[in-house]
Amino acid sequence: MAAASPTGAVVLVTAVFLASAVEMVEALTIVLAVGVTRGWRSAFEGVAAALAALCALVVVFGPALVHWVPLSVLRLVVGGLLLVFGLQWLRKAILRAAGLKAKHDEDAIYAEQVAELSAAPASASGRDATAFAVAFKGVFLEGLEVVVIVITLGTTSHRLGLAALAAAAAVVVVVVVGLVVHRQLSGVPENAMKMGVGLMLVSFGTFWSAEGVHATWPGSDLAIPALVAFYGLVAWLLVYALRHATAPHADDRPAVGGSTHE
């Protein structure tokens, strides 16, 4: 079975770890802003509640998918889902690397959150509903993408426990690093990590969706690292082509993009 071998497991763990780390950096920015401006107690309660809800989603939906959905259907649906999801990540990372989209600025997001939270009225009681809600929402919404990745990759490769452990390890690493560097999260190479995650999600998505319609991969699961390399080359070529296409105008046109929250 694909991804049951060491090669597939390494790619699976790397993909889940990086995806979880990227999303948790974004969540940590929000939690730090809440903690610093509104106090840590309600912020931590919001984080704990969100993590519990995310774990519950994995525990409920992960085993249910494995037991009730036929493997070929699971691979086809999960493969398609990962392809769409991974292509979105990869497209965004390529546009950012080429300077056509503003990069995620954690410092700007932090400043914006602090300003919003400082303006909200303080709670009279010990518990701060605003702090709880903002921390919960930040961690839960950022974590939902990780849950989808853990469930899809974990169930299809029959390594749900390993995928969940990789995600949990990323949360621990990001929290420890976050406590050490505190507000210097803008130093995290977020776009490079997103590019890596996008490459792996698209590779897994291609692999599983083709297996779901009974295509035969030469070399079985060795095709996964080959797919990562192929899509890496395609991404590099696209960034190179876009940079050269826009180079004459680079001086008078700043990088533009949508929301910094993307």
Partner 1 sequence: MSDERRDTTQSAPARWLAAFGRFWWDFLIGDTPELFVGVVVVVAVLAVLCLRPGLRTAAALLAPVLVAGVLTASVRRAARRRNP
Contacts with partner 1 by CB under 8 A: the residue count is 41
Q: Which two tokens stand for residue 150?
A: 């853990």
Q: Which is nearer to partner 1, 120 or 242 (CB)?
A: 242
State the Cα torsion 157-163-164-167 to the nearest 10°: -150
Least Å distance, CB 131 to partner 1, is 24
* Residue of the chain from 50, 76, 117, 166 that contacts partner 1 (CB under 8 A): 76
Mark the segment that binds partner 1 (CB under 8 A) among 35-43, 54-62, 79-87, 178-186: 79-87
Candidate segments 20-28, 54-62, 93-101, 130-138, binder of partner 1 by CB under 8 A: 93-101
Q: How far is the CB of 61 from partner 1 (least distance, A)?
A: 14
Span between the terminal Cα atoms of the chain, in Å: 35
Say which residue the tokens 């993009």 belong to: 257
- Length reported for the chain: 262
> What 3-state DSSP class applies to 256?
coil
Minimum separation from the CB atom of position 249 to partner 1 (A): 7
Using CB under 8 A, pick the residue from 40, 44, 61, 217 that binds partner 1. 217
**Is residue 16 part of the contact set for partner 1 (CB under 8 A)?**
no
Say whether residue 61 binds partner 1 (CB under 8 A).
Answer: no
Task: Locate the DSSP E strands across 22-159.
Answer: none
Beta carbon nearer to partner 1, 8 or 35? 8
The CA distance from 138 to 50, in Å, is 9
Structure-token pair, residue 205:
């998505």
Compute φ and ψ for 49, nearest 5 degrees: -65, -40
**Residues 34, 131 contacting (CB under 8 angstroms):** yes
Can residue 250 be called a binding residue for partner 1 (CB under 8 A)?
no
**Nearest C-alpha neighbor of 110 from the set 9, 211, 37, 48:** 37
Rule CB under 8 A: say whether 227 interacts with partner 1. yes
- CA-closest candidate to residue 26, choices 93, 82, 108: 108
Q: Which is nearer to partner 1, 4 or 245 (CB)?
A: 245
Closer to partner 1 by CB, 132 or 207: give it.
Answer: 207
Interface with partner 1, residue 91, by CB under 8 A: yes
Report the C-alpha gap between 256 and 249 in whole angstroms: 13
Binding site for partner 1 (CB under 8 A): 76, 79-81, 83-85, 87-88, 90-91, 94-95, 98, 100-101, 148, 202, 205-206, 209-210, 212-218, 223, 227, 230-231, 234, 238, 242, 245-246, 249, 256, 258
